[in-house]
Structure 1
Amino acid sequence: MTQQGVRWSADQVLALAPDAASRKAGSKLGAAGPWSEAGCSDEGAVWGVCKGSGSRPYQTVVDVAGGAGPAYKCSCPSRKFPCKHALGLLLLWARDDGAVPSGQAPDWAEQWTAARGERTGRKRSTAGPASGAADPRAALRRAERRAERITAGVTELEQRLADLLRGGLAPAEQAGYGLWEETAARMVDAQAPGLAGRVRELGAVPSSGPGWPVRLLEECALLHLLGQGWLRRERLPEGMSATVRSRVGLPVSADGPPVRDRWLVLAQYDTADAKLTTRRIWLHGADSGRTALLLSYGAAGRAPELALPVGLALEAEVSSYPGAGQPRVALGERFAPPAPVRIRPRGVTTAQAAARYGAALRDDPWLESVPVTLREVVPVLDGESWQLADAASDSALPVTRVARTHPGLWRLVALSGGAPVTVFGECGHRGFTPLTAWSRNEEEMVTLC
C-alpha cells in the first residue's frame, strides 16, 4: 500500500497516460502475463520486469508517492512519459489481487528510489514501513495544481458546449465520435476522468434512434451543470460538493464508520468498454436494512477479481464513500464465509420507486438510477415494450431497453407466470432494470442479470 493506504483505480492510472495510444498500449500490459518480479513497498514504490519484443526485458519502477506527483523509470527506449510499461505496471498494481505483493525491492529499483529520495530530501526504505507521515504541504500543493488543471479543462468544456449549441445540434450527427473523443482526451489531460467518461458517452447519442437531439441536449445540460458545480464547489453544501468532486473524477476513499452486518448479495453484473471492466455488486444488510454498492475494476477486458456469490450473505464490515446519498461502500473485514439466509429488502410500489429516484436527484443530479425492490408486480407486455405493473393499482414502470433485450427478462416472465412477484433492480430516468426476483412464496431467488 502507499502511504495514503489506498491503491488507485484503473481510471486514475489511465488518466496519467500522455495520449490515447499510450492508454491503449498500457491497458494491454495491465495483466500478469508479461510481468515478473513485480512488487511494491509500503512507501509507494512499485516495480516489475516486463517481457518486450527485444532480447532483454524492461525494468520498470514507479514512485507513486512522489512529493510533486508520480515519478517513473523504465529501461525501454520510449520517449513518452509515462511509458506504456509504467502504465501497465500501475494497472496491475491497482487490481490489488496479489499480483504485485509487498516485499524487498531488487537492487536496480532500490538504487533508483534511494537516489530519488536523496534528491527530494525524503528518507525512505523499500523494505519496511514508512518513516514518517507524508508532507501535508506537498499534498496540498499537488491537490491545488490538479484543481487548477481541472478548472482549466472545465472552462474549455464550457466553451465547447456553447459552440455546439450556437451552431445547432444537427452537425453532431455527422461529426460522429471524433468530436467527442477529442474533447474527452482534453478532459483526461486536465485529470478529470469523470468528465472524460461523460463526454465520450455523448458520441453514441446521435445514433441512439428517434428523439436523439432531445437526449443530447439533456446530456449537455447535465455536463454544463457539473462544470458549473465544479467552478462553484466552495459555495455548495458539503455533501453536494463531495458529489461534484467525485463526479468530476477526483479520487476519494471510503471514510465512513464501519457498519457490521449480514450482507445479502442481491446482484452482480459487469459493464465494459475498451479500457475498463466495471463490476457492480449490490448488497443488502439484514439488520441495517441498507442497500449498498460495491464497485470493482479490471483493465483491458479482464474480469475484476472481486466476486461474491449472489443469493448468499456474508458477515462483514463496509464503509461509506463521501457524497450526498452515496450508496457506494468499500468492503472491509469479513467475519464469516457466505452462507444461505432468508432475508430480502423491503419492497415498495412502482409509484414509490419513482418518487425515491426523484428525491435522490436532489442530492445527485447526475444519478443514473437508485436501487429499489418492487413488491407485488407483474411483467406486462405493452405493445413492443414491457412494464412492471403493480398488482393492486394502475401504476407501472417501463422496463429499460437494455433489459428488454436480455434473457433475464424472460426468466422473470417465466417466474411470474402472470402472478405477482418481488423484483430488485435499478430505477432511473430510462425505466427499471430488473436484476433479481423472488417467487411468490419467496422460497426461490432468481438472478436476472
Structure 2
Amino acid sequence: MTQQGVRWTADQVLALAPDAPSRKAGSKLGVAGPWSEAGSSGEGTVWGLCKGSGSKPYQTVVDIADAAGPAYKCSCPSRKFPCKHALGLLLVWAGADGTVPDGGEPPPWAEEWLMSRRKKAEDKRSSAAAPAPAADPEAARKRAAKRAERISAGASELEQRLSDLLRGGTASADQAGYGAWEETAARMVDAQAPGLAARVRELGAIPSSGPGWPARLLEECALLHLLDQGWHHRDRLPTDLAATVRSRVGLPAHPEGPPLRDHWLVLAQYDTADSKLTTRRIWLYGTESGRTALLLSYGAAGRAPTLALPVGLALDAEVTSYPGASQPRAELGEQFAAPAPTAHRPRGVRTEEAAVRYGEALRGDPWLESWPVTLSEVIPTPHEGSWQLTDSEGTTALRTALPLSPAAISRPGLWRLVALSGGAPLTVFGECGHQGFTPLTAWQKDSREPVPLC
C-alpha cells in the first residue's frame, strides 16, 4: 500500500501513537475480532467498523497517502490523534491476513471525509498562491528594535543575578529555593526572551539535584553568561553564530536558503511535554545527500502535534534549513509522494568519531544539548552499574564506547535494544550529548527494517 501493495510493519504503525496508553490500547484492537467491513483502496485509504461498547460500531478511516503524513477520522469521542481505533485498524491492515483486503472502494461515510479533505487541501493551495498583503518594513523594523532593547535589558539583569549568585557562592544556592529562579525566569519572559527564561528554569532545578550539583550549576551559569555576552556582542559575531545566539535567546527564526529535495528516511520520532506544550522531534536522513535534518512540530498540552511520520518510511520531499551554526533543524516543504518503505539506512560511524562530531558541533553552538549520530557495529554492554554502546571491532582492551544517557537508562527501549542485539553488533541512530548517548532507532546487522526504541 502506498507504493502500491507494500504494507507497513507493526513498529511503523505503533510509532504513530501519541502516547504509551494509546499504543497499548491500539495493540489490543490490532486483531480481526472487533473489525468488520474493513478494506483498503489502491489510493492509500484504509477503513473499517470497530465494535465498541455502544450499539453502533465506530467508523474509522485513515488516509495513508497524504503527503503530509497519515490523517485519521473516527466517530469515537477520543481527542487523541490517532486514536486507539485508528491504530488498531492500521495494525490489522499491516498484518496482511486478509482482514483488510486491497482494491476496494471506500464506503460513503469514508468517501465523504476524503472529499472534504481534498477540498480543504485545494483551498489551502489556492490561498497560498494568492499574493500576501504588503507588510510595512519600517513598522517591522521598529518592533524588532524595541524587542531587542527589552532583551538587552533582560540579559543585563540576568548578568547581575549570576554575579550575585557567584559572589555568595554556589554552595548556598539551594537555600534560596526555586522561587527566586522562577521570579528571574518571569522577568526574562517580560523581556521577551523565552530562551533565556527556559535556561533560567533549568538552572533553578540543579541545586540539591544530586551529588556534584555545585559543579553542574557552575557549568550552566558559565553557559548562560556566555549566551548573555553573545547577545550583547551579537553585531561582532560571525553570521552563523549570531543567528544561533538569536535563536537561543528566543527570537523566532525562519527557514532560509534553497530547499533540498531528497528521499528522506524517517529515522526517529518522539514527543516531550511540559505543562504548556507538547514538542515532537522527527529526525530525517537524506538517502542521497547524506544529510540529517530535524523537524519540530508542536501541540497544546496533553495533545499530540499533527505532523506524524512513521519510522522506517521514506518520503520524496523538499526541506529548507534554518539559519545558525550546527543547526540541524529544517522545515518540511513540498512533498511529491506519500511516505513509502525503503531499503536505505544511514551510514554509521564508530563511537570515537561520534564523540568527535559532537565536539565539532559544539564549536558552532556551545549551548547544543546533543547531536544526531548513527553508530555502526556497536553492542550494548553493562558497565559499572550502567550501560554503554561498545565498538564490536578490535581487541577488548582497545575498544572504545559511549555511555548511555540517564534518559536512555530509564526508558523501556533500553531492554528492547539489549534483546535486539543478543550480544551481536547493531547499527544504532540516536542523539550524542554531554550526558551520553540516547539511542532512538536500531537495525540488526542483516536487516533493513528499523526498530524504534522510543
C-alpha deviations, 1:283-302, integer Å up to 9, x for none? Answer: 00111110000001112232
Q: Which residue of 1 aligns with 2:292?
A: 291
Residues 138-147 or 301-310, more deviating: 301-310
Q: Distance in 2 between matches of 1:372 and 1:176?
A: 38
Q: Secondary structure at the match of 1:355?
A: helix
Unpaired runs of at least 5, structure 1: 1-97, 103-127
Q: Which residue of 1 aligns with 2:429?
A: 424
Q: Distance in 2 between matches of 1:172 and 1:303?
A: 37
2:241 is aligned with 1:236: no
Q: Letter of the aligned partner of 1:165 in structure 2? A: L
Contact 2:311 2:450 in 1 (8 A): no
Q: Which residue of 2 aligns with 1:282?
A: 283
Q: Which residue of 1 aligns with 2:175?
A: 174
Q: Which residue of 1 aligns with 2:443?
A: 438
Post-superposition offset of 1:277: 1.1
Q: Which residue of 2 aligns with 1:330?
A: 331
2:209 is aligned with 1:216: no
- TM-score, scaled relative to structure 2: 0.70
2:411 is aligned with 1:406: yes
Q: Distance in 1 between matches of 2:133 and 2:384?
A: 66
Q: Distance in 2 between matches of 1:242 and 1:432?
A: 27
Post-superposition offset of 1:225: 0.2
Q: Which residue of 2 aligns with 1:88?
A: none
Q: Distance in 1 between matches of 2:207 and 2:312?
A: 39
C-alpha deviations, 1:138-180, integer Å up to 9, x for none? Answer: 1111110000000000000000000001011123213332111
Larger RCO: Structure 1 or Structure 2 (Cα < 8 Å, ≥ 6 residues apart)?
Answer: 2
Q: Secondary structure at the match of 2:266?
A: strand
Contact 2:283 2:293 in 1 (8 A): yes
Indicate the RMSD between aligned Cα atoms, in angstroms: 1.7
Contact 2:266 2:283 in 1 (8 A): yes
Q: Distance in 2 between matches of 1:447 and 1:224?
A: 38
Q: Distance in 1 between matches of 2:453 and 2:249?
A: 32
- 1:3-152 alignment, distance < 5 Å: 132-152=133-153
Q: Distance in 2 between matches of 1:191 and 1:260?
A: 35
Q: Secondary structure at the match of 2:170?
A: coil
Q: Distance in 1 between matches of 2:435 and 2:178?
A: 23
Contact 2:344 2:448 in 1 (8 A): no
Q: Distance in 1 between matches of 2:344 and 2:453?
A: 18
- 1:341-360 alignment, distance < 5 Å: 341-360=342-361
Post-superposition offset of 1:132: 4.5
Q: Distance in 1 between matches of 2:420 and 2:318?
A: 33
Q: Letter of the aligned partner of 1:231 in structure 2? A: H
Post-superposition offset of 1:131: 7.5
Q: Distance in 1 between matches of 2:177 and 2:316?
A: 48
Q: Letter of the aligned partner of 2:352 in structure 1? A: A
Q: Which residue of 2 aligns with 1:112?
A: none
Q: Distance in 2 between matches of 1:131 and 1:196?
A: 34
Unpaired runs of at least 5, structure 2: 1-119
Q: Secondary structure at the match of 1:345?
A: coil
Post-superposition offset of 1:275: 1.5
Q: Distance in 1 between matches of 2:337 and 2:380?
A: 37
Q: Distance in 1 between matches of 2:436 and 2:188?
A: 30
Post-superposition offset of 1:346: 0.7
Q: Secondary structure at the match of 1:206?
A: coil
Q: Which residue of 1 aligns with 2:115?
A: none
Q: Letter of the aligned partner of 2:434 in structure 1? A: H
Post-superposition offset of 1:443: 3.3
Q: Letter of the aligned partner of 2:432 in structure 1? A: C
Q: Letter of the aligned partner of 1:166 in structure 2? A: R
Post-superposition offset of 1:235: 0.2
Q: Which residue of 1 aligns with 2:249?
A: 248
Q: Secondary structure at the match of 1:219?
A: helix
Post-superposition offset of 1:129: 6.2
Contact 2:386 2:409 in 1 (8 A): yes
Post-superposition offset of 1:268: 0.4
Q: Letter of the aligned partner of 2:409 in structure 1? A: R
C-alpha deviations, 1:163-208, integer Å up to 9, x for none? Answer: 0010111232133321111111111100001111111111221243
Contact 2:442 2:450 in 1 (8 A): yes
C-alpha deviations, 1:79-110, integer Å up to 9, x for none? Answer: xxxxxxxxxxxxxxxxxxx9xx98xxxxxxxx
Post-superposition offset of 1:403: 0.5
Cα 1:351–1:131 change in 2 (3 A) is closer
4+ residue stretches of structure 1 with deviation over 3 A? 128-132
The count of residues paired between Structure 1 and Structure 2 equals: 326
Q: Secondary structure at the match of 2:207?
A: helix
Give the share of equivalent positions with the same residue, in percent.
73
